[in-house]
Amino acid sequence: MEPVRWWQECVFYQIYLPAFCDGNGDGRGDFIGLAQKIDYLHELGIGGIWITPFYPSPLVDNGYDISDYCAVDPRFGELDDFRRVVAACHGRGIRVVIDLVLNHVSSQHPWFVDAWNNPASRYRDYFIFTDQPNNWQSFFSGSAWMPEPDTGQFYYHKFAPQQVDLNWQNPQVEQEIYRVMDFWLAAGVDGFRFDVINFLTTDGIGADNPQSAGEQEHLYDVNQPGLMAVLRRLMAYARARGELFLIGEIGSEDLAVLRRYQAADLLDVVFNFNLGSQKTFSAAAIFAALTAMNEQQPGLPTLFFSSHDMSRMISRFGENERDTDRARAVLALQLTARGVPFIYQGEEFGLTDYRPRCLADISDVQGRTHYQTALAAGMTADEALAIALTHTRDASRAPLPWGEKDALWKDYRELIALRNHIPVLRYGAYTRLALTDACIGFSRITADEQVWVAINFGAPVRNPWQAVAGEVLYGDNAPWLGKNQFVIKRRGYGKAQ
Ligand code: GLC
C-alpha cells in the first residue's frame, strides 16, 4: 500500500481572501480578518486552507496579476500578519497552501516594466515578444497579443493584457521561481496551488490554433509538449524541500487531459473540473464523473463544486435558491466519496450567487473584457452587456456575511467531523459504486472497516443498504429513501471495531 500523505487526512477550505473577512474595516478581506477566523475554521473541522493570491498587485484580476512575488499587498496586511496566520493555523492543526501564479505576472511587475519598450532590457526575454503575432486568443476573449508602440512588436498575454505571460523557454525564469518557492517555504507554507499550470508557454509560439464553429480550439497554446519536463523539475524542486501538497489547476474538464498531470513526479492532485464545474444538477452526470475518476484516474481525485471562478453550488444545483436539501445531499456525497474535498468559503452558510445586472455591477476582468471585445466587434451596448453577464465571475465573490450558523452549517460541521474521525471515509477504496434512478450508492472498504453510503437525489427509491448490518452514522436507515435523503452506515472489522 502507498504511504498515507498528510493531505489525505484533510478537508480543505478555499479562502478567497478579498471576500473572506475584513479585519481593518476597509471593506476588503485581509490577514487580520483571516486570523480572527482560525478558531472558526478549526470548529468547522478544516484541516487545510488554500489562500488565493495576496501578493502586491494592481488587482486587475483580483491578485492573479502579481507585481512582486515575495511580499504581501499592503491592502491584505504585512508579511508578519501572514506569518502570524501560518503560525496560528499550525497551532490549530490547519495546514496552509498558497496560490502561485507562474504563467504570468502583472504588467506592473518590475521585470515587465523594464522589458517594455526596451529591447535591450535584460528582462526582455522573460516575456514573449514577436514581430509576427499568430491567431491565439486570450482566455478572456480577443487577441492574446498586445502591440508595443515604440518597437512595433507584440507581447503575449493569455489572460488580460495586464497579465503578461512569462517565457518558460528561458531558464532564468525557472530560477527566479525557485527563489520564490524558497521564500514562501521559509515562511512556513505547506504547499502550493499552481494557477493555470497547463498554460505555461514552454515551447514558444507555434502554429495558429484551428477554429471550429466560431470558437478557437486551444490546440497549440495550452498543454504544450515541453510542459511535462518543466513541471517535473518544478515539482522535484518543491518535493526536495518538504512534504508539501502540490495542487494543479489544469484548465480543462476533460479527465483524459486532467489525469496526465497527476503522478508521483508531477502534481499530487488536480482540480477535477469534470466533476466540479457541472453546470446543472444531474445525479447521472455526477455518477458518471465519479465512476470515470475511479476507473480512469490513477491518483486521488479532488471533490469540489464551487470556487471563486464559478457560480455557487446551490444556485447551480438547487431547484430553487432555498433548496438547502439538495445542497446537504451533495455535501454528503462530497464528504463520503473517495478523493480530497475542497469547500469554497461561504458554502457552509448556504450562500447563493450574487447577480450583477448592469455594467457597473461587473467587477471581474473576464466579464469586462468580454464587454469590450463585443463592442469592438460591432455589437450594441445591450448585446455586449448580455455577453458580459454570461461570462463574468462575480457570482461567488461577494463578501461573506458572517451571520448565524444555521442547520446547513451544522451538517457541514457534522459531516466534516465524520470524515475526520472515520478512516475508511478518507482511505477506503470503492467496492461498489452504482446508480439506481437518481440514487448514488457506494461502499468503501479498508482492512479495518467498511462504509455504505446511499444518497437519493430523486423520487423515492429502495435503500440499497437497509439490510446491511452496520451502525448508522448519519441519516435514516429507512426502507425507502425520499428525495435528497441519504444514509451513511459503517461496520468495523479489525482493530478499529
Ligand atoms: C485561474 C484563477 C482565475 C484567474 C486565472 C488567471 O483560473 O482561478 O481566477 O483569473 O487563473 O490567473
Ligand 1 atom with the shortest distance to the CA of 52 = 8
Pocket of ligand 1 (CB under 6 A): 61, 64, 101, 159, 195-196, 249, 308-309
Strands 245-248 and 191-194: parallel
Where are the alpha helices (H) located in 127-218, listed in sequence order? 171-186
Cα of 364 vs centre of ligand 1, distance in Å, is: 11
Q: Where are the beta strands (DSSP E) in 172-290?
A: 191-194, 211-212, 215-216, 245-248, 269-270
43 is catalytic: no
Catalytic residue among 190, 195, 348, 394: 195
Atom 12 of ligand 1, residue of closest alpha carbon: 64
Predicted local confidence at residue 495, as pLDDT: 60
The segments of the chain whose pLDDT lies below 50 read: 496-497
For the structural domain made of 6-105+171-427, what CATH number should be given?
Answer: 3.20.20.80
Ligand 1 atom with the shortest distance to the CA of 101 = 12
Atom 8 of ligand 1, residue of closest alpha carbon: 309
Which of 139, 157, 195 has the most ligand 1 atoms within 8 A of CB, as the residue to mutate?
195
In single-letter form, the type of residue at position 118 comes to N
Catalytic residue among 249, 394, 411, 449: 249
Cα of 196 vs centre of ligand 1, distance in Å, is: 7
Ligand 1 atom with the shortest distance to the CA of 64 = 12
Ligand 1 atom with the shortest distance to the CA of 158 = 6
471 is catalytic: no
Cα of 449 vs centre of ligand 1, distance in Å, is: 40
pTM for the predicted model, two decimal places = 0.97
Grid coordinates given for 485: 435523503
Q: Contacts by 473-482 with C-beta closer than 8 Å and gap 24+?
A: 473/418, 473/422, 474/332, 474/414, 474/415, 474/418, 475/332, 481/439, 481/454, 481/456, 482/456
Cα of 473 vs centre of ligand 1, distance in Å, is: 38
Predicted local confidence at residue 9, as pLDDT: 96
Cα of 64 vs centre of ligand 1, distance in Å, is: 6
Residue among 464, 467, 461, 452 at smallest CA distance from 480: 461
Predicted local confidence at residue 83, as pLDDT: 98
Predicted local confidence at residue 496, as pLDDT: 46
